[in-house]
Structure 1
Amino acid sequence: MIPARRPVPVQAPTEQRHPGSRDLDLLPTLDLLRLINDEDARVAPAVAAALPQLGAAVDLAVDAMRAGGSVHYFGAGTSGRIAAMDAAELPPTFGLSPDLVVAHHAGGAAALDAAVEDVEDDAESGAAEASVLTSGDVVIGLAASGRTPYVAGALGEARRIGAPTVLVSSNPAAEIAAVADVHVCVDTGPEVLAGSTRMKAGTAQKLVLNAFSTAVMVRLGYTYSNLMAGVTARNAKLHGRMVGILAEASGHDVDTCAGVLADSDGDLKLALVRLLGDVDAAAARSALDASGGVVRTALLHLDGSPHG
């Protein structure tokens, strides 16, 4: 007697076979690369379609951080590594305290350098890591398939606590969207190499987090115009960047900018307000304090008119 056939599980779009790449292993090298590149070109338009939801996620984070909360990324595998990279780059770029945007990776630090595939199935681990958060924080889960248990556990616990939740996925029918207040779905479809979500889905997550964290920093006043305003001189390259920012913003020569920066104890925002407002350090510091550290608002405090 032939046993009854079990139903085939419904696959997430990221796990399905791409109909245009079934001869992938037969293609000449250049044609193979063109196929991959053609599929990569679909990612940015897919992100554009999700911008309203991404905007909602940005607003949640800005409101939370203004009220003293923090943002927490949760991901496994490629998703977790992309989250860790984004969080790590914010302190040197914006002078952000490292405890304000934190990445949680399934399996911890050891899983960042080497694949530890079973940890993504541990929903309890995700929930435990989220359990220390408060209702004033924002939790952002990254799961290309939209069904990663580790991420589901974190989002579920965050919702229980009362924290706002966001899911970033590439699956319009993501299972764990049910525990997300906002679902940023970037529908990148099947990968050229079936199931390899480090490709289009991973690229989408990188674009989403780049845009998300940059927009949050702009809204919170960590920039002046399109220039970084919170950089700290942790090495020679960053010191040179700070002097260049001062020169670009103020029109003063490099030597003058370097001198004001040194006299401001390396505080780029203070140096910016001093140069742009043509005031001494005490007046610049008072204006920054009154404006919550936002350079453009500090300049308005000084003379009532916008700069730049």
Structure 2
Amino acid sequence: MAERQTEQSGRYLGLDTWSDERILDALVQGQERAIAAVRAAAPAISEAATILAHRLAAGGRLAYAGAGASIRVAVQDGSELPATFGMPEANILYLIAGGRAAMFDTLADAEDDEADGAAQAEVLTAADTLVTVAASGSTPFTIAAARRARERGAVVIAIVNNPESRLAAAADLEILLASGPEVIAGSTRLAAGTAQKVALNLLSTLTHIKLGAVHDGFMVNVETGNAKLRQRAAGIVAAVARVDEPRAQAALGEAGGQVKHAILLCAGAKDIAAAQRLLIAANGNLRLAMARLGDT
């Protein structure tokens, strides 16, 4: 394995003696390098999203695996997918070193537990996709989970911040985020963590765009579980279907809060059943469904 770039030191000698402005400028530059690293990884993110969208559409599940800060970032990404894109919570799995308690408590030695990583991956099947996240690319728990997942037939995507890592070697596809040395050597909650957060965000968002959860920049699979989300959904229906908000709200009520169905009702579908048929025929793609409105 190559030297861990995230743990190289010596570039910031005397950091603790610097002025606040100089320290903050160095930290911001680290964040800028993180964004540049994600931009450079765009082709790999695109490839991963294509694979993930295809496998989710075929009925597979999405799992995340990692330890420490990396899995906390991954859980943040996954936990937003149901409300934002309507992804069923049952289709999202988390393989967490140390279990859910490690999301709040520092269980540092859990990342060394290879047996637990392999054991947690036993829930995966050949239909599933595992996204593994480790800045170092050398976390024993995460590598063991990746290897066992592949043995079970799952596709494994590795998001790492160091080149030539063991985790990347254990995966089907690597997303390398070369964010470089941290301002505070080895503190991968900084630039590496930012790069992971952005890459995961782009991966899950592009995946769900491919799955038809976004139309003209609107979340057309948004869940309507509270007043704010119901208001947001009504605004989406009104904007896409080009109707006023009272009409949009009425259609949402008729559609049981389902935004796509409400849009189709406002756009000319004669009833919920017709809207449902259109969406099924279009594999959930609202644009295609709207184009076929005249066929109902």
Per the TM superposition, whether the score is higher than 0.5 is: yes
1:240 aligns with 2:193: no
Q: Which residue of 1 aligns with 2:210?
A: 219
Please show how residues 12-161 of structure 1 align to structure 2 within 5 Å: 12-19=4-11, 21-161=12-152
What CA distance in whole angstroms lies between the structure 1 residues aligned with 2:140 and 2:83? 32
CA distance in 1, matches of 2:237, 2:52: 29
Residue 198 of structure 1 pairs with residue 169 of structure 2: no
Name which one, 1 or 2, has greater alpha-carbon Rg: 1
Distance 1:220 1:249 in 2: 18
> Whole-Å Cα distance in 2 between the matches of residues 90 and 10 of structure 1?
35
**CA distance in structure 2 between the aligned counterparts of 1:281 and 1:69, rounded to whole angstroms:** 28
Aligned residues: 295
The alpha-carbon deviation at position 18 of structure 1 amounts to 4.8
AA partner of residue 204 (structure 1): A
Cα distance change of structure 1 residues 18 and 65 upon mapping to structure 2, 3 Å threshold: farther
Identity %: 38
Secondary structure of 2:49's counterpart equals helix
Question: Which amino acid is the alignment partner of residue 154 of structure 1?
Answer: A
Q: Which amino acid aligns with 1:227?
A: F
- d(CA) in 1 for partners of 2:93 and 2:80? 11
Give the unaligned 5+ runs of structure 2: none
Match of 2:267 among 267, 276, 285: 276
Q: Which sits farther off after the overlay, 47-56 or 100-109? A: 100-109
RMSD: 1.5
Structure-1-length-normalised TM-score: 0.92
1:273 alignment partner, SS class: helix
The residue identity in structure 2 corresponding to 1:179 is: A
Secondary structure at the residue paired with 1:252?
coil
What is the CA–CA distance in structure 1 between the aligned matches of 2:256 and 2:80, rounded to whole Å? 23
Cα distance, 1:168–1:18 mapped onto 2, change above 3 Å: farther
Instruction: Report if the CA contact (8 A) 2:136-2:162 is conserved.
Output: yes
1:90 to partner: Cα distance: 0.5
Q: State whether residues 33 and 180 of structure 2, in contact with CA within 8 Å, keep that contact through their aligned partners in structure 1.
A: no
What SS does the aligned partner of 2:90 have?
coil
State the secondary structure of the residue aligned to 1:139: strand
Residues 44, 277 of structure 1: alpha-carbon distance in 2 compared, 3 angstrom cutoff:
farther
Query: CA shift at 1:245, angstroms?
Result: 0.7
Cα contact 2:241–2:264 (8 A) shared by 1: no
**Contact 1:18-1:191 at 8 Å conserved across structures:** no
- Cross-structure match for 1:298: 289
Structure 1 runs not aligned, ≥5 long? 1-8
Could you tell me which amino acid in structure 2 is paired with residue 136 of structure 1? A
- Segment of structure 1 superposing worse, 135-144 or 247-256: 247-256
Question: How far did 1:56 drift?
Answer: 1.6
Distance 2:231 2:10 in 1: 47
Distance across 2 between alignment mates of 1:263 and 1:162: 42
Q: Shift in Å at residue 104 of structure 1?
A: 2.1
The Cα shift of 1:118 comes to: 0.4
**Counterpart amino acid of 1:17?**
S
